[in-house]
Amino acid sequence: MLQKIRNEWKTIVQNQIDEMAKGILGEGADVPELTIQVPPKPELGDIAFPLFSYAKVLRMAPNKIAAALKDNIESLSDKPEGELILAGPYLNVKIDVIALADVLYKTIKENGSEFGKNKQYDGKKIMIEFSCPNTNKPLHLGHMRNDSLGMSVSSILMANGADVQRVNLINNRGVHICKSMLAYQKFGNGETPESTGMKGDHLVGKYYVKFAQWEKEDDTAVDQAKAMLVKWEQGDEEVLKLWKTMNGWTLDGLAESYKKTGVSFDKYYYESETYKLGKDKVLKGLEEGVFYKEEDGSVWIDLEDINLDKKVVLRKDGTSLYMTQDIGTAISRHDDYPFDSLIYVVASEQQYHFKVLFHILKSLGYTWAKELYHLSYGMVNLPDGKMKSREGTVVDADELFDSLASIAKKEIQDKERENQVDGLDKTSEAIALSALNYYLLQVSPTKDMVFDSKKSISFNGNTGPYLQYMGARISSMVRMFEEQKDEYASIEFDSKYLTQPEERELIKSIALYPEIVEKAGKDFDPSVICSYLYDLTKLFSKWYHDNKILKAEDKNVVVARMGLSSLVLQTIKNAFPLVGVTFLESM
């Protein structure tokens, strides 16, 4: 909406510049394209056109160009609503916000939850892979960033018109899986999640830790684990039985964590089922000369010409590697769901892996390989440094979630709002989840971040709970307004009663929302939406604090302000799910 207004003005100004250039330089002058900016202060208008770059072409000082343009444009009979402002070398426009508010009101009332969506990826099939846990331990904070990103980006893509398929790849085979199995076999005494009351993934994780301890005392431990893997690959009944049992425990536990944190997938892939698929493709590629064989029998690809070194794709004993399996998985995925694009949400430490993977798939002749994208995200560190499993500083996902929820719960109780909220536990968990998602998503994905659990649970400032609180405040007003509806029955929303400076800013901010969704979709970046939401709610908060809404004296003003509030409400309701924030009617 704002975009449209900006472009209208741009066309007008650009045309005038072209005219001036023609007058001075004659036909065919090379005139640079106009850039559009936002003035730093509201008093300076809403749209800015810097004119520096025309000084040389037109042989005039930018201020004079601005003045001349202003005169010329004002004399035009056909121009958009708005007012031109001279600001030195800038020509600015103050748009007609009242008119914008009317359009906005109509649009949002008509479109409701559809407001903000666009067709950028209309008809595109996009597959997105994320989470990809191992079945030897529970989820930790690192997975949570991955999951938050995966869920958020896929929601954002849907809002941009894409047909999205969320997939998970369960890493359920390998030596590391055998380690927890072996430790359980040796020290488990037949424990089960039922007998211990432990969540399955935590129970398995306990034996993974146990293995690490045992490994220090017995140097045959790793060899025993490797031997177990061989047995597993040979289909040894006893090993498979244990594997199935323990995998089941972990997967049950993971399912519970996913459910709690609102993570879901359209399809699960299991490494145990896909690891052999890549092998055939590699052998075929070997025949075609994409790969070569070393004397020891291992298969390689030489990527030195593109600065990616040499990479092994099949072990000398013929078994598959991570790379082998990923080749197969990608191919089978494209068979399952012929995507236009596949996004891998994987930590930045695997950038090299994906460069190589994508290159290999291209070399094997898959044309869709150029549509593969590694959404690389940075590490989650702690205020004291890195998370290290050896030092026991890894933040467990379930524990973190539960502790956040209990803090939220206490807060509700302290404020004596148990009866106001829709279920104490339900609300506390919704607050905890939103706090977590928002904290993880507000940082640009590519950057490493510091996760301070103390700050994450703080409900002040730029946090999920703050956003939820604003949503709840507006909802509360809307409810009260509904109760007194009869008093206002004869009054229509009229934007001309929105005269406060904050109201101007609010209207502009709401109008910006569709562009924000588009940008987030284009960049695969949820943090864009986070910043936007915080700006919008902060703006609302100030306005709401300084002005009476429901209790304004003039009923026309009440209706206009409630109308504006409802637009803010609809906008944040639409934006919240894109960044994993739960909307609460009351908190």
Partner RNA sequence: GCGCUAGUAGCUCAGCUGGAUAGAGCAACUGCCUUCUAAGCAGUAGGUCAUAGGUUCGACUCCUAUCUGGCGUACCA
Residues numbered 224 to 283 that lie near RNA (CB under 7 A) are 271
Question: Residue 28 carries which side chain, given as an amino acid letter?
Answer: G
Q: Which of 2, 17, 50, 201 binds RNA (CB under 7 A)?
A: 50
Task: State how far the Cα of 530 lies from the Cα of 532, in Å rounded to an integer.
Answer: 5
Q: Are 143 and 397 in contact (CB under 8 A)?
A: yes
- Based on the shown chain and the rule CB under 7 A, indicate whether residue 94 belongs to the binding site for RNA: no
Q: Are 479 and 537 in contact (CB under 8 A)?
A: no
- Based on the shown chain and the rule CB under 7 A, indicate whether residue 426 belongs to the binding site for RNA: no
Closer by beta carbon to RNA, 72 or else 298: 298
Closer by beta carbon to RNA, 296 or else 486: 296
- x/- mask, RNA, residues 469-508, rule CB under 7 A, reads x--xx-xxx--x----------------------------
Closer by beta carbon to RNA, 52 or else 292: 52
Q: What tokens does 419 get?
A: 């009866």
- Based on the shown chain and the rule CB under 7 A, indicate whether residue 447 belongs to the binding site for RNA: yes
Question: Residue 494 carries which side chain, given as an amino acid letter?
Answer: D
- Based on the shown chain and the rule CB under 7 A, indicate whether residue 465 belongs to the binding site for RNA: yes
The stretch among 96-104, 137-145, 315-323, 572-580 that binds RNA (CB under 7 A) is 315-323
- Based on the shown chain and the rule CB under 7 A, indicate whether residue 459 belongs to the binding site for RNA: yes
Comparing C-alpha atoms, which of 119, 127, 222 is closest to residue 179? 222
- Based on the shown chain and the rule CB under 7 A, indicate whether residue 7 belongs to the binding site for RNA: no
Q: In the chain, count of helices (H) and strands (E)? A: 21, 13
- Based on the shown chain and the rule CB under 7 A, indicate whether residue 420 belongs to the binding site for RNA: yes
Q: Are 291 and 310 in contact (CB under 8 A)?
A: no
Compute the least distance from the CB of residue 4 to RNA, in Å.
16
- Based on the shown chain and the rule CB under 7 A, indicate whether residue 17 belongs to the binding site for RNA: no
Compute the least distance from the CB of residue 515 to RNA, in Å.
9
- Based on the shown chain and the rule CB under 7 A, indicate whether residue 531 belongs to the binding site for RNA: yes
- Based on the shown chain and the rule CB under 7 A, indicate whether residue 556 belongs to the binding site for RNA: no
- Based on the shown chain and the rule CB under 7 A, indicate whether residue 408 belongs to the binding site for RNA: yes
Phi, psi of 400 (to 5 degrees): -60, -45
- Based on the shown chain and the rule CB under 7 A, indicate whether residue 527 belongs to the binding site for RNA: yes
Closer by beta carbon to RNA, 359 or else 417: 417
Compute the least distance from the CB of residue 324 to RNA, in Å.
8
The stretch among 6-14, 23-31, 141-149, 317-325 that binds RNA (CB under 7 A) is 317-325
Task: State how far the Cα of 500 lies from the Cα of 523, in Å rounded to an integer.
Answer: 34
Q: Are 144 and 261 in contact (CB under 8 A)?
A: yes
Residues counted in the chain: 587
Task: State how far the Cα of 526 lies from the Cα of 437, in Å rounded to an integer.
Answer: 10
- Based on the shown chain and the rule CB under 7 A, indicate whether residue 386 belongs to the binding site for RNA: yes
Q: Which three-class secondary structure string do you get for 246-261?
A: HHHHHHHHHHHHHHHC
- Supply the DSSP string of 39-71, one letter for each residue: -SSGGG-SEEEE-TTHHHHHTS-HHHHHHHHHH
- Based on the shown chain and the rule CB under 7 A, indicate whether residue 52 belongs to the binding site for RNA: yes
Comparing C-alpha atoms, which of 134, 231, 245 is closest to residue 184? 245
Closer by beta carbon to RNA, 125 or else 315: 315
Compute the least distance from the CB of residue 587 to RNA, in Å.
4
Closer by beta carbon to RNA, 216 or else 551: 551
- Based on the shown chain and the rule CB under 7 A, indicate whether residue 449 belongs to the binding site for RNA: yes
Q: Are 366 and 285 in contact (CB under 8 A)?
A: no
Q: Which of 65, 321, 564, 579 binds RNA (CB under 7 A)?
A: 321
The stretch among 137-145, 182-190, 309-317, 570-578 that binds RNA (CB under 7 A) is 309-317
- Based on the shown chain and the rule CB under 7 A, indicate whether residue 398 belongs to the binding site for RNA: no
The stretch among 111-119, 196-204, 349-357, 484-492 that binds RNA (CB under 7 A) is 349-357
Stretch (H or E) spanning 573: helix 555-575
Q: What tokens does 24 get?
A: 């001075």
> For RNA, how many residues bind (rule: CB under 7 A)?
95
Q: What is the CA radius of gyration of the chain?
A: 29
Can you say whether residue 88 is alpha, beta or left, with left for phi > 0 and alpha for psi between -120 and 50 degrees? Answer: left
Q: Indicate the burial class of 122 (C-beta count within 10 angstroms; 0-12, 13-18, 19 or more).
A: exposed
Q: Which of 431, 517, 529, 533 binds RNA (CB under 7 A)?
A: 431
The stretch among 123-131, 146-154, 187-195, 462-470 that binds RNA (CB under 7 A) is 462-470
Q: Are 62 and 14 in contact (CB under 8 A)?
A: no
Torsion angle (degrees, nearest 10) of CA 441, 444, 446, 452: -60
Q: What tokens does 11 get?
A: 């066309």
The stretch among 139-147, 196-204, 543-551, 571-579 that binds RNA (CB under 7 A) is 543-551
Q: Which of 15, 341, 403, 586 binds RNA (CB under 7 A)?
A: 586
- Based on the shown chain and the rule CB under 7 A, indicate whether residue 58 belongs to the binding site for RNA: no
Closer by beta carbon to RNA, 367 or else 419: 419
Torsion angle (degrees, nearest 10) of CA 316, 322, 325, 331: -130
The stretch among 2-10, 72-80, 328-336, 449-457 that binds RNA (CB under 7 A) is 449-457
Q: Are 585 and 475 in contact (CB under 8 A)?
A: yes
Angle at 313 between CA 310 and CA 314, to 5 degrees: 130
Question: Residue 339 carries which side chain, given as an amino acid letter?
Answer: F
The stretch among 53-61, 74-82, 138-146, 190-198 that binds RNA (CB under 7 A) is 53-61
- Which residues, 154 to 183, sit near RNA by CB under 7 A? 171, 174-176
- Based on the shown chain and the rule CB under 7 A, indicate whether residue 134 belongs to the binding site for RNA: yes
The stretch among 52-60, 94-102, 151-159, 212-220 that binds RNA (CB under 7 A) is 52-60
Q: Which of 230, 255, 306, 450 binds RNA (CB under 7 A)?
A: 450
Distance of CA 161 to the CA centre of its chain: 16
- Based on the shown chain and the rule CB under 7 A, indicate whether residue 563 belongs to the binding site for RNA: no
User: Which residue do the tokens 């520096």 mark?
Assistant: 52
Q: Which of 196, 351, 393, 484 binds RNA (CB under 7 A)?
A: 351
